């Protein structure tokens, strides 16, 4: 609109020149796709699919994103991150040169360089993520924090926001990532709807040198010596309010037999998707997992599932095999999005995983049980309920189940193995607390995702002397 005003013309005259750039800025910066924004983004996507500018066609080819039609995800997940990577690495000029160039050879050289920056950004991101998860495994007491605060020396400040998003998605809690450099600390945070991150930081304004943001994302700087105090104050702030659970909205149930290119075409009429006009999310229910195949050097998974007389493939992007809690034979409910694709002249539909859960477990009961377990872990007041006190037999049951499993076990699988599909919240929490007692006694351990496995054999421990048992006896007046 500024360019229109400077040129003294209508937007329609300039869209053939600028629409792709406007669409990139609008979509990649998560601006609402409503009104004029929506019209501009639609025109930009049309050009991307028909007459793409050299910068975009080259980036898409280098990223092996050659399947048309391109939707908003091409800008959000392919073009945008590669252009952003240059800025995150402190080399934004090269991204600007690529966007301005019209020579294909120059575009090739610059796009290759941006792709290398993006690979380096991904490498840094994975390293920082691994360090954060390892720290959480080494400090299991922090897993029960309402707000997760991570700090590390020399973390690149250009990528810690991305890592905060990954951790927030992984643990379902607000996350702050802080990079330390001498006496200085810079941080980036991400939250989920229902916990206002900027207001939380504002409550600790006396610790800050500067801060800003909104409900779901924020940035800040403070003295390195105040990081631990910030962790305490953020969790104290969170303790005074009801913390939200992560919620996956579902628009409709999906019959797997109706997964046709025609369905994808119908959904494409609602494009462009983005902020203000989210992509529809569908539920695939009671699907049997047949296989989870690693692809792209274990960075993603291709899931094969069967249900309602149909076999489907679902892509689980950014999911390594060790981070996937399900095994062939599990019955799952999945939240997925749909995208049309075309390969070698054949039209098809790609399903992309948003979330997955065990079909036989009620989400609400598991989430409420997790809240009770965290309250007990933090030694907070609990309703006087004897059903929460695990007995030695509960511990023996958990021990036997862990003994039979080859991989670390999430609490949800413990419930299924114990045939607790119809159990109450208190009964689920009780078995979960039994696993926590085993962890306290050193019989079991947990990884950064809260999954249990048996620890190497050690000294025999007395169940009744576990601190958690003593605490629960006290609150239950036993």
Residue 114 lies in a domain: yes
Question: What is the domain-level CATH number for residue 147?
Answer: 3.10.310.30
Distance (Å, rounded) from C-alpha 466 to C-alpha 462? Answer: 7
Phi, psi of 267 (to 5 degrees): -65, -30
Long-range contacts at 84-93 (CB < 8 A, ≥ 24 apart): 84/28, 85/114, 85/117, 85/118, 85/120, 85/121, 86/113, 86/114, 86/117, 87/158, 88/117, 88/121, 88/156, 88/158, 88/159, 89/117, 89/120, 89/121, 89/158, 90/158, 91/117
Q: Output the furthest CA–CA distance in the chain (Å, rounded).
A: 83
Residue 372 confidence (pLDDT):
92
Residue 132 lies in a domain: no
C-alpha distance across the termini of the chain, in Å: 71
Rounded CA separation 7/10 (Å): 9
pLDDT at 102 over 90: no
Please indicate, yes or no, whether residues 324 and 266 belong to a single structural domain of this protein. Answer: yes
Give the pLDDT score at 161: 93
User: 171, 204, 239 — which closes off a domain?
Assistant: 239
Question: Do 268 and 341 have their domain in common?
Answer: yes
Instruction: Give the pLDDT confidence score for residue 23 in this predicted structure.
Output: 94
How far is Cα 79 from Cα 58, in angstroms, rounded to an integer?
A: 10
Least confident of 144-153, 216-225, 441-450: 441-450
* Residue 128: inside a domain: no
pLDDT bracket for residue 384 (50, 70, 90): low
Dist. CA 417–CA 133, nearest whole Å: 27
State the pLDDT at residue 477: 59
pLDDT tens-digit series, residues 258-302? 888 888 888 888 888 888 899 899 999 999 999 999 998 898 999
Q: Determine the average pLDDT of the residues in 240-252.
A: 90
Residues 111 and 18 in one domain: yes
- 178 three-class SS: strand
Task: Indicate if 178 and 276 belong to the same structural domain.
Answer: no
Give yes or no for residue 478 having a pLDDT over 60: no
305 domain-assigned: yes
450 in a domain, yes or no? yes
Q: CB neighbours (10 Å) of residue 73? A: 18
**pLDDT tens per residue, range 19-69:** 999 999 999 888 999 999 999 999 999 999 999 999 999 999 999 887 777
Residues 188 and 97 in one domain: no
* Shared-domain flag, residues 324 and 341: yes
Residues 96 and 192 placed together within one structural domain of the fold: no
**In the chain, what percentage of residues exceed pLDDT 70?**
98
Q: How confident is the model at residue 476 (pLDDT cuts 50, 70, 90)?
A: low
Whether residue 141 has pLDDT greater than 70: yes
Q: What does the pLDDT read at residue 239?
A: 92
d(CA 391, CA 460): 17
Contact (Cβ atoms closer than 8 angstroms) between residue 376 and residue 366? no
- High-pLDDT (> 90) share of the chain, %: 68
Band of pLDDT at residue 112, cut at 50, 70 and 90: very high
- On the question of pLDDT at 306 being above 90, the answer is yes
Q: What is the pTM of this model?
A: 0.82
Of the residues 301, 333, 358, the one at which a domain ends: 358
Instruction: Give residue 235's domain range.
Output: 139-239
Residue pLDDT, tens place only, 311-348: 999 999 989 898 899 999 999 999 999 887 776 777 77
Between strands 310-316 and 252-253, the pairing is unpaired
9 secondary structure, DSSP code? S
pLDDT digits (tens, 9 = 90+) for 402-443: 999 988 999 999 999 999 999 999 999 999 999 999 999 999
Same domain, 149 and 231: yes
Q: What value does the mean pLDDT take over residues 135-151? A: 91
- Cβ atoms 172, 246 nearer than 8 A: yes
Asked if the structure places residue 219 within a domain, the reply is yes
Question: How many distinct structural domains can be found in the chain?
Answer: 4
DSSP-assigned states of every residue in 15-78: HHHHHHHHHHHHHHTT----HHHHHHHHHHHHHHHHS--HHHHHHHHHTT--PSSP-HHIIIII
**85 lies in some domain:** yes
| Among 23-27, 86-90, 254-258, the range of highest mean pLDDT | 23-27
Is 174 in the same domain as 234? yes
Average pLDDT over residues 212-239: 96
**What is the model's pLDDT at position 353?**
96
Residue 260 is predicted with a pLDDT of 85
Q: Which of 449, 460, 453 is nearest to 439 (CA)?
A: 453
Q: Above 70 in pLDDT, residue 366?
A: yes
Instruction: Look up residue 7 and give its two tokens.
Output: 């040129």
Q: Which DSSP category does 253 fall into?
A: E
State the pLDDT at residue 6: 93
pLDDT at residue 318 in the model = 86
Would you state the pLDDT for residue 56? Answer: 94
Same domain for 235 and 277, yes or no, is no
Q: Could you tell me the two tokens for 407?
A: 């991989």
- Among the candidates 183, 217, 239, a domain finishes at 239
In a domain, 22, yes or no: yes
Distance (Å, rounded) from C-alpha 420 to C-alpha 452? 18
368 and 461 part of one domain: yes
If asked whether residues 70 and 151 sit together in one domain, one would say no
Q: What is the CATH number of the domain that holds 260?
A: 2.40.50.460
């Amino acid at each position: 609109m500024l360019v229109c005003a400077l040129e003294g013309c209508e937007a329609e005259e300039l869209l053939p020149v600028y629409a792709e750039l406007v669409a990139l800025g609008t979509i990649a910066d998560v601006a609402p796709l409503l009104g004029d924004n929506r019209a501009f983004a639609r025109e930009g996507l049309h050009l991307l699919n028909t007459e793409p500018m050299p910068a975009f066609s080259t980036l898409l080819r280098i990223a092996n994103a050659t399947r048309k039609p391109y939707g908003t995800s091409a800008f959000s997940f392919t073009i945008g991150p590669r252009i952003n990577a240059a800025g995150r690495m402190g080399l934004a000029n090269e991204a600007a040169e690529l966007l301005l160039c019209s020579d294909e050879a120059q575009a090739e050289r610059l796009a290759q360089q941006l792709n290398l920056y993006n690979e380096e950004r991904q490498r840094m991101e994975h390293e920082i993520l691994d360090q954060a998860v390892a720290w959480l495994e080494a400090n299991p007491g922090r897993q029960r924090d309402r707000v997760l605060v991570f700090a590390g020396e020399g973390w690149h400040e250009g990528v810690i926001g991305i890592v905060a998003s990954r951790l927030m998605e992984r643990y379902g809690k607000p996350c702050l990532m802080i990079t330390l450099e001498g006496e200085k600390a810079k941080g980036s945070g991400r939250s989920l709807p229902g916990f206002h991150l900027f207001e939380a930081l504002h409550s600790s304004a006396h610790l800050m040198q500067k801060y800003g943001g909104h409900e779901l994302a924020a940035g800040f700087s403070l003295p390195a010596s105040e990081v631990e105090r910030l962790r305490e104050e953020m969790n104290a702030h969170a303790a005074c309010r009801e913390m939200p659970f992560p919620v996956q909205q579902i628009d409709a149930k999906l019959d797997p037999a109706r997964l046709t290119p025609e369905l994808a075409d119908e959904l494409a009429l609602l494009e462009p998707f983005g902020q203000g006009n989210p992509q529809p999310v569908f539920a695939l229910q009671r699907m049997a997992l047949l296989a989870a195949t690693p692809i792209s050097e274990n960075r993603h998974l291709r899931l094969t599932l069967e249900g309602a007389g149909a076999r489907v493939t679902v892509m689980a992007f950014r999911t390594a095999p060790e981070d996937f809690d399900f095994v062939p034979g599990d019955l799952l409910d999945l939240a997925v999005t749909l995208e049309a694709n075309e390969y070698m002249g054949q039209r098809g539909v790609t399903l992309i995983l948003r979330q997955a859960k065990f079909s036989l477990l009620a989400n609400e009961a598991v989430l409420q049980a997790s809240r009770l377990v965290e309250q007990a872990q933090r030694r907070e007041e609990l309703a006087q309920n004897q059903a929460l006190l695990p007995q030695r037999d509960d511990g023996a049951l958990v021990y036997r189940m862990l003994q039979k499993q080859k991989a670390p076990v999430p609490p949800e699988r413990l419930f299924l193995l114990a045939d607790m599909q119809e159990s109450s919240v208190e009964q689920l929490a009780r078995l979960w607390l039994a696993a926590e007692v085993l962890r306290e006694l050193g019989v079991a351990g947990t990884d950064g995702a809260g999954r249990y496995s048996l620890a190497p054999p050690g000294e025999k421990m007395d169940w009744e002397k576990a601190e958690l048992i003593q605490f629960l006896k006290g609150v239950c007046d036993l």
